[in-house]
Amino acid sequence: MTLYAKWKEITYLYLYYGNGTDYVRYEYDEGDVVTLNELYDLFTPPALTETDILGTEHEAPFKNWSIEGYDENSHVELTSDIEIGKKHVILVAQYDKSKVPVKEFITYNAEKNIYTTTGKVDHVFFDEAPQTPYAYVTKMTIVKGKGGAVGPAFRMSVPNIDYHYETDSTYLSPGICPGDGTMQISSVLNGKWSRFVSIIPLSGLPEAWAEKFNSADNGAEIELTMTIADKGSSFDVYIDNELAFSYSGASVLAKYTGKGLGLRSSSTPTKFADPRVNEGFTVTFDAQNGAENVSVRWLAGALETPEFTKEGNALEGWYFDLKLTDRADEDKFYITEDVTLYAKWSDEFFVVSFDAQGGSACQSKNWVSGKLRLPDAPKKMNMIFIGWFYDEECTMPVDVYEFSTDKDVTLYAAWRYPYHYLTANADGSYTYTKKTLAVLGTVENALQKDGGYNEYSQTITMTKGDGSNGVAFRMDAGVDYAYETVGTSYLSVQFAGSSLRISYVDDGVWRRLLPNNADYVFNKLPLSWQEKYNAAEDGANMTVRLTIRDYGTYFTVYIDDTLAYTYGQNGETVDLTKFTGNGYGVRGSSAKTVIYSDIYGKEANA
């Protein structure tokens, strides 16, 4: 006889768990209903066990079943009963991985305590930074010639997602570029990367680092230690304990609120070892001269020592021991615990005096040997201090590390004018290159009395209608590339097209001097200027002489030696006498080529 099979169509319910390959299967007839309670009673997957790069196991417990999707980013939690149809039902287990470390492009050698990058990575070593100030230190090994940048990272806030790098992250990271040894300071703010400051060239980094990098062969490994000293409103970066970069900007740094400390690398392979963090160490100075001890907190780099004095003596140096045999090197200072330093005094010394050459006065120093401790830099209006020299002509610079004398000596301050955006020509003229304020000279007295006046003058060759360009005077602008910089003050008279623009800058804030914030209009200027201006073709070059006679409480303006305007005798509200700077020069904001020539400032008779 023949037997015939009778089949019943059933539907499978698959419950996938683990890493997505393990499953259990249940049979149902079409029309059956599996309630949520029944589903969770059927099978509870065991917790996942995952191992981080340090070899530590972490459990991720079962959380819920999802109806679609196979990862944390796309699953939809099952929240209703299941009505079985003809189509098989597939559910995937989801796990709580909030306490499982994310996957990263990094490996760890526990025996050698070395982290090695295998791709772009930002990794957190310490989850909670101490209160600032603190120092974060890590040793690194880079491969010369590789691309990318490598360095410690701080103020880190990173998401709990795999391979995050920049995604949703916030942190700062100074990085060495293995390709050329330069340094870049990276900023990642809410996942958006930018260069925090311009690339710092190798020539701008510590000399010892430049020599180490340049002496290595291409492809060779280079070891270095990088330290970040975070002081809250500022931070310093050190390479092999030598200062490489400093930043100060409280409002900017306040945006980076994370407390993680770690690494950031876009160069592979790179090794990181011995990461550590400390809140600095206390250095106590015992001057042994009757004065109270002074303590400071040292984070990294050179040690700034307080200045003590002792009648008839000079401080020879600081020592780690009371017997004064183990001298501390203040410039290559390094400690790993709190210490006390002891002063050594000598009653045989030389007096070093300082001639500021017109700048603020500086106190003399008693010197015995070693590094010369210089006074704070002197100040001089409209000038930039550039150092101390052995001679009055400032041709022989002083090296404080190589300083030596066998008698009392006087050192001389050297000064320069601030840098500006004008190009100096061989004939003594200047060509406009960018919006700028240029200090080109000084007078002895900014405010003349008893009817005397200072005269400032220049010849301007400009394009008709372009402006504004002209004379700046009573300038107090001792910073490079000043224009309307905070701390800068001056008066200025400029051509603004055909009109005159009379204005001032008070501590960096610009205003017009005329009522209603207006320019002195063309039709009120000398007829000779009106005719000259109207006769020139549009776009043509025009040459004009602009002269200011400054009487202190008022000043007069001349165009081609013809009186054009007087300010300060008609009830104006701005007190001119508060502008006491002795500099004069050019203020320009032209869009086209302008040449300034025959520029002078001088004291004249009434």
One-letter amino acid of 271: K
The pLDDT value recorded for residue 568 is: 87
Residues contacting residue 115 through CB under 8 Å, at least 6 positions apart: 53, 106, 107, 108, 109, 123, 263, 271, 272, 273
The terminus-to-terminus CA distance of the chain in angstroms comes to 142
The pLDDT value recorded for residue 473 is: 97
Helix (H) / strand (E) element for 531: namely helix 527-535
Q: What is the DSSP string of 35-90?
A: -HHHHHHH--PPPEEEE-TTS-EEEE-EEEEESS-SSTTT--B--S-EE--SS-EE
Does residue 152 carry a pLDDT above 60? yes
One-letter amino acid of 526: P
Tens of pLDDT, residues 34-77: 999 999 999 999 999 888 888 889 999 999 999 865 555 566 88
**Of residues 429, 420, 512, the one with CA closest to residue 468:** 512
Q: What DSSP character marks residue 509? A: E
Q: Give the position of tokens 């007829």.
A: 527
In the chain, % of residues over pLDDT 70: 98
Task: Judge residue 571's burial from the number of C-beta atoms within 10 Å of its C-beta, 0-12 exposed, 13-18 middle, 19 or more buried.
Answer: exposed
Span 83-100, average pLDDT: 89
- pTM score: 0.68
In the chain, % of residues over pLDDT 90: 81
595-604 and 430-432 beta bridge pairing: antiparallel
Q: Give the position of tokens 């500006």.
A: 420
Span 535-549, average pLDDT: 94
Characterise 218 by phi-psi region: left (phi > 0), alpha (psi -120 to 50), beta (else).
beta
Q: Whole-angstrom Cα distance, residue 375 to residue 411?
A: 11
Tens of pLDDT, residues 392-449: 999 999 999 899 999 999 999 999 999 999 999 999 999 998 999 999 999 999 998 8
The pLDDT value recorded for residue 71 is: 54
The pLDDT value recorded for residue 325 is: 96
One-letter amino acid of 360: S
Task: Judge residue 234's burial from the number of C-beta atoms within 10 Å of its C-beta, 0-12 exposed, 13-18 middle, 19 or more buried.
Answer: middle
Does residue 205 carry a pLDDT above 80? yes
Tens of pLDDT, residues 398-410: 999 899 999 999 9
Q: Whole-angstrom Cα distance, residue 295 to residue 283?
A: 6
Helix (H) / strand (E) element for 275: namely strand 271-278
Tokens matching residue 282: 């206390």
Cα separations (Å) of 596 from 430, 460, 467? 5, 5, 13
The pLDDT value recorded for residue 231 is: 92
Tens of pLDDT, residues 227-269: 999 999 999 999 999 999 999 989 999 999 999 999 999 999 9
Omega of the bond leading into 275 within 30 degrees of 0 (cis): no
The pLDDT value recorded for residue 541 is: 92
Does residue 197 carry a pLDDT above 90? no
**Of residues 439, 450, 444, 454, the one with CA closest to residue 490:** 439
Span 283-302, average pLDDT: 93
Q: Whole-angstrom Cα distance, residue 534 to residue 525?
A: 13
Beta bridge partners of 335: none
The pLDDT value recorded for residue 73 is: 57
Does residue 131 carry a pLDDT above 90? no
For the chain, list the domains and their CATH numbers.
10-95 (2.40.240), 106-278 (2.60.120.560), 281-346 (2.60.40.4270), 349-416 (2.60.40.4270), 422-604 (2.60.120.560)
Q: Whole-angstrom Cα distance, residue 122 to residue 104?
A: 8
Span 80-86, average pLDDT: 91
Span 362-366, average pLDDT: 94
The pLDDT value recorded for residue 56 is: 87
Instruction: Name the 3-class secondary structure at 156.
Output: strand
**Of residues 204, 227, 212, 233, the one with CA closest to residue 333:** 227
One-letter amino acid of 131: Q
The number of angstroms, rounded, from the C-alpha of 317 to the middle of its chain's C-alpha atoms is 34
Q: What DSSP character marks residue 200? A: B
Q: Write down the mean pLDDT value for the chain.
A: 93
Q: What is the DSSP string of 387-412?
A: EEESSTT--SB--TTS---SS-EEEE
Does residue 100 carry a pLDDT above 90? no
524 φ, ψ to 5°? -100, -5
Beta bridge partners of 41: none
Q: Whole-angstrom Cα distance, residue 331 to residue 99?
A: 45
